[in-house]
Amino acid sequence: MMSNSTLSSLSYFILGAYLNIGNLRYFYFMITAFIYIVIVVVNTSLIVIICMNRSLHEPMYIFLCSLFVNELYGSTGLFPMLLIQILSDIHTVSTSFCFLQIFCVYTYGSVEFLNLAVMSFDRYLAICCPLQYHTRMTFNKAVVFIAVIWLYSFIKFLITLSLNIRLPLCGNFINSLYCHNYLVVKLACSDTKVNNIYGLFGIVLTVLVPLLPILFSYMKILKICFSGSRQTRQKAVSTCTPHLVSLLNFSFGCVFEIVQSRFDMSSIPSVLRIIPSLYFLIIQPLLNPIMYGLQMTKIRKTYEHLFCYKMLTGQRDTV
C-alpha cells in the first residue's frame, strides 16, 4: 500500500481480483478472446447491415445501430486489458489507462440505459400512435436523440473524472478485475464529500432520467394492449419483447455490479464475485445482437439475403 501519495505521483494501480490459475490462464484466455471476437463480429455485422440497407434507415434501426456501436465501445473498454491481465503474472495497470477504462465503462452504461429509454419511447409511438409515428419520430429526430445521448453521457462522466483525478490517494490496490470508479474514490486520503454528492447526483441522472420515459412508455403500451384488439397485442409483444429482455438483463447486471462493489462480499467465493462484476459487460453485448437479429424480420431477411448472395457468388466463382 502507498501512503500520502497524490494521483500525480501514483503511476499504477494493482488489480486484486485475479486468481492464481497457473496454466489454466491459456484456457481462460482463449475463451475470453473467443467471446470478444464473437461480440465484435456479430455487432459489426448488424451495423453494416443497417448502414447498407436503405430500407433499414428508419428511427428504430438507427437506435439499434447506436446500441450495437455502444456494445463494441463497452467491450473494447474491457476485453483488451482483460486479455492482457489473464496472461500476466503481475496485475497492474497505469493510472492513465485505469481512468480511461473507468470513463469507457461508465459512459457505456449510461449510453446503454439512455438508448434503451429512447427505444422504449419509439416503441410507444409506433404502437400507441401508429398514424402519427412517421411525423413524430423522423430520421433527423432519431439522429438528434442519439447525439444527445452520447454527448450527455460523455460530459457527465468527464465531470466525474475531473473531480476524482484531483483526489490525493493513500493506496493503489483495487479489488476488481478492471478499474472501478467507486473503488478508486475509496482510496482517497482527503474528504470525498463533493465526489460522493456528485456521485449520487450522477446515479439519479443515469437511472431516473431514462427510467421515466421507460415507465411512461410501457404504461401506455400496457393500456393499449388491455383495451386493444388481439392484433394490437400481438404487435406489441413482437416489437417489445427484445427490448424488454435487453432492458431487464442490463438492469439485472448493473444491480449485480453495484451490490458486489459497494458491499462486503468477502464471505462469498471469489468466482461468484467475479461473474457478477463482468455480467453486464459481457452478456449484454452478446444478447442484444442475437435478440434483435432473430426477432427483427427486416434485419433477419437482409442478413439471409446477403448470406445467400455471397454463397451464390462464391459458387459462380468456383465454376
Helix (H, G, I), strand (E, B) or coil at 3: coil
Question: Would the pLDDT of 237 be above 70?
Answer: yes
**pLDDT average, residue stretch 225-245:** 77
Question: What pLDDT band is residue 258 in, cutting at 50, 70 and 90?
Answer: confident
Unique residue bearing C-alpha cell 448502414 = 51
pLDDT tens digit sequence for 135-174: 899 999 999 999 999 999 999 999 988 888 888 888 888 8
Which of the two residues, 86 and 268, has the higher pLDDT score?
86
Average model confidence (pLDDT) across the chain? 82
Alpha helix positions (H), the chain: 24-52, 59-87, 95-128, 133-136, 139-165, 181-185, 193-227, 230-262, 270-295, 297-318
Question: Would the pLDDT of 230 be above 80?
Answer: no
**pLDDT average, residue stretch 58-74:** 93
Which of the two residues, 56 and 117, has the higher pLDDT score?
117
C-beta of residue 282 within 8 angstroms of C-beta of residue 250: no
pTM assigned to the model: 0.86
Question: Would the pLDDT of 234 be above 80?
Answer: no
CATH code 1.20.1070.10 for 10-312: yes
C-alpha cell at 191: 474528504
C-alpha cell at 95: 493510472
C-alpha cell at 161: 473524472
Chain centroid to CA 76: how far?
11
Alpha-carbon distances of 251 from 42, 153, 207, 210, 245, rounded to whole Å: 22, 17, 10, 12, 10
C-alpha cell at 164: 476524482
How far apart CA 64 and CA 303 sit, in angstroms, is 15
**pLDDT average, residue stretch 289-313:** 64
Listed range (17-26, 77-86, 280-289) with the worst mean pLDDT: 17-26
Question: Percent of the chain having pLDDT more than 90?
Answer: 28
pLDDT tens digit sequence for 34-48: 999 999 999 998 898
The DSSP letter of residue 18 is -
Helix (H, G, I), strand (E, B) or coil at 94: strand
Sign, Cα dihedral of 123, 128, 130, 133: negative
Residue type, 198: Y
Question: Would the pLDDT of 6 be above 60?
Answer: no
